[in-house]
Structure 1
């Protein structure tokens, strides 16, 4: 999965190559996903497939739990995923040290649920709890920990809210409900970290603009772009270029 990061002010685009891992049962507090381990390989086995970058290129980043981009000087963003329940936030320090050593920023996707499916509440219960303030402490905990980090931080909360494939609990909310929830979470986060930027990140479906929470709450806009050559050939009769895959959602965002 490719996540496109577009700064509204300059229309500059940064690219973060991210793999969305499927959530499984968790018996103890989860660690954020995307932190390379000490034994991770520092050499990528598929280096020939990486984009060719120059000083004029968009910024490249990665969700890279195996450390394949560990020695890649062109990788500028370290992407992490974490739930806001049942998570060991202290492990963010490990990711921060890894990013600082490589001169990278951190993109932290905060998913408002537990990764243990047995511990999740319903979509309606989650929304009601957020709007009633019962999850303010969860967001405060994440943002307070992020405030301790040395790397520049971007917070990406409740991504792909415009999707309808039942993957995420928050993708079932009405646009006005999502906007209110997003605004509340950014407001809460700002109480604990003053230096973060905030990414609103729809999947790119036609109704995405209905979920936009407003310029006051969004610094960066993200779009998800998926590439599967077999699907492209079957659906479009050819393999699409990155530009062709990005363009529909990008134009919807104005």
Structure 2
């Protein structure tokens, strides 16, 4: 064989070996069985390294009066996959302390094959794929004399897919309820433990009071550590915020120490005292799940924010939206605009913001100043001017408070501070103005309900629906459809009973694209009886909020909005 031939042959051999290694690796990772692991760990020496302290808060959320530091629990866990040749080991319930309650973490993973082992298993749970093993577990637990808590797929609300069951709210709830039914059918004394980490947005995953016996949170769970959307806080603040997120749920709560070392008695005594001292935040009558409220009247409220008055002459519009800054509204033509709304014979949607002080400077202490009475003169004059407005007034205060940014000076603040300021304003407004309805206006983002001010001071919930999911998107066809956004945001509001008033929505792009988007939106609005009103934002966004990027222009021509009104066809 020639020298060139030998060289070519060596290359062929090397390529063949490399190809063989690739095939072998693929087959190995595809076919190797991932049998579920099993481990026994004493209480909170958990598999992901949580520490060995905990607190059991007794009675109910928003009315804690007792606590127990480091309660007697034994904590064990079992992981299931879909392998048929594996059974739950009896060691799971052997050598149990006789005086301790038992917590079993039940984790349902994916297929036994590696590429899909971490795939979402929740659909398979609801379809019964794991039923045989879950029933086997229930039979084992039914034989125990100890108090038993079953914890199904914890930390489900944390984004990032650290676990394969994270970020699927409705699917998770279906799976949880399926497991609960199986367990209760065989072991009715077992308590179902719902265990979010305590991360913002946990309420989206709540299975319902009929399915949950107790709940648990963790002070910085392992799956949260890589996330940077929300800042890490000192221990007392983490405890406050995580308990605050649970105020809609009426269950005893087990708090796991997570990444913190010291859960002192003083910490829990101060938390109990704080909740008792703030009934406006924690009085159960404001936060227990109530029957859904209905709108005050049957009229569908169709409004516009249209400062250039391009849509002034359209029939069918019965409300106008004005935005004002509390400290400076008298200098910015508010009374003239109010008179135009009166002349048009329309209802008033009034968003009262606290962006700037009297010198037109950003007011980062706006909520504190409102509560201290610094803006009482402006507030009283405003309420006086609205007393004789002939039609309905919808008052919305400092919107989108839950987004963890600082576009507005009231964002990224303590929920208590915002709620106190909201209630301060609304309590005064309802005394001064007979025809006022109070609108709480989150964007509808994750964790909105932390800022819910209580059912006694909310008549409508307002959410914002804009097609643009990311400000860097320049192609208008990449915008989300109205229905997709509405499903996501309205789901987050399901623990609150008020009807929805969408006081801001818009879409950018060519006129024909905007019209098609709006016509599809009309289909969703017609079918959603809980939507009591909607208001289009007919203007470009505020330039300074977009930095070097041109602000999106949501405005449409009169004919486009006329076609939307016709398609909407709601009286």
TM-score (normalizing by structure 2): 0.32
For the structure 1 residues 98 and 176, does the alpha-carbon distance in structure 2 shift closer, same or farther, using more than 3 Å as the test?
A: same
What displacement does 1:58 show? 5.0
Alignment of 1:12-27 (within 5 A): none
For the structure 1 residues 238 and 67, does the alpha-carbon distance in structure 2 shift closer, same or farther, using more than 3 Å as the test?
A: closer
Q: Which residue of 2 aligns with 1:110?
A: 352
Alignment of 1:90-101 (within 5 A): 91-101=333-343
Query: Which of 88, 92, 100 is the matching residue for 2:330?
Result: 88
Note if 1:173 corresponds to 2:406. Answer: no
Query: Which of 293, 296, 302 is the matching residue for 1:9?
Result: 293
- Structure 1: where are the runs of 5+ without partners? 1-7, 13-55
For the structure 1 residues 130 and 116, does the alpha-carbon distance in structure 2 shift closer, same or farther, using more than 3 Å as the test?
A: closer
Q: Which residue of 1 aligns with 2:508?
A: none
SS of equivalent to 2:341: helix
Answer yes or no: is the 8 Å Cα contact 2:400–2:441 preserved in 1. Answer: yes
CA distance in 1, matches of 2:480, 2:434: 40
Alignment of 1:158-237 (within 5 A): 158-228=398-468
What displacement does 1:187 show? 1.1
What displacement does 1:238 show? 5.2
Q: What RMSD over aligned residues (CA atoms) do the two structures have, in Å?
A: 3.2
Deviant stretches of 4+, over 6 Å: 229-235
Q: Which residue of 2 aligns with 1:135?
A: 375
CA distance in 2, matches of 1:165, 1:100: 36
Query: Which of 302, 310, 322 is the matching residue for 1:68?
Result: 310
TM-score (normalizing by structure 1): 0.68
For the structure 1 residues 71 and 233, does the alpha-carbon distance in structure 2 shift closer, same or farther, using more than 3 Å as the test?
A: same
SS of equivalent to 2:329: coil
Answer yes or no: is the 8 Å Cα contact 1:109–1:158 preserved in 2. Answer: yes
Note if 1:77 corresponds to 2:357. Answer: no
Deviates more, 1:126-135 or 1:172-181: 126-135
What displacement does 1:227 show? 1.3
For the structure 1 residues 116 and 136, does the alpha-carbon distance in structure 2 shift closer, same or farther, using more than 3 Å as the test?
A: closer
Answer yes or no: is the 8 Å Cα contact 1:82–1:110 preserved in 2. Answer: yes
What displacement does 1:226 show? 1.0
CA distance in 1, matches of 2:469, 2:428: 41
Note if 1:154 corresponds to 2:394. Answer: yes
* Number of residues of Structure 1 aligned to a counterpart in Structure 2: 202
**Higher relative contact order at CA 8 Å, sep ≥6: structure 1 or structure 2?**
1
Answer yes or no: is the 8 Å Cα contact 2:418–2:451 preserved in 1. Answer: yes
Answer yes or no: is the 8 Å Cα contact 1:155–1:198 preserved in 2. Answer: yes
For the structure 1 residues 219 and 230, does the alpha-carbon distance in structure 2 shift closer, same or farther, using more than 3 Å as the test?
A: closer
CA distance in 2, matches of 1:178, 1:153: 22
For the structure 1 residues 143 and 89, does the alpha-carbon distance in structure 2 shift closer, same or farther, using more than 3 Å as the test?
A: farther
| Alpha-carbon displacement from aligned partner over 1:167-222 (angstroms, at most 9, x marks no partner) | 11111221122111111111122232122111100011111011000111111110
| Alpha-carbon displacement from aligned partner over 1:18-67 (angstroms, at most 9, x marks no partner) | xxxxxxxxxxxxxxxxxxxxxxxxxxxxxxxxxxxxxx995321111111
For the structure 1 residues 121 and 115, does the alpha-carbon distance in structure 2 shift closer, same or farther, using more than 3 Å as the test?
A: closer
Deviates more, 1:136-145 or 1:88-97: 88-97
SS of equivalent to 2:439: strand
What displacement does 1:89 show? 7.3
- Structure 2: where are the runs of 5+ without partners? 1-291, 495-571
| Alpha-carbon displacement from aligned partner over 1:86-114 (angstroms, at most 9, x marks no partner) | 22279444334433443310101111132
Which structure has the larger Rg over C-alpha atoms? 2
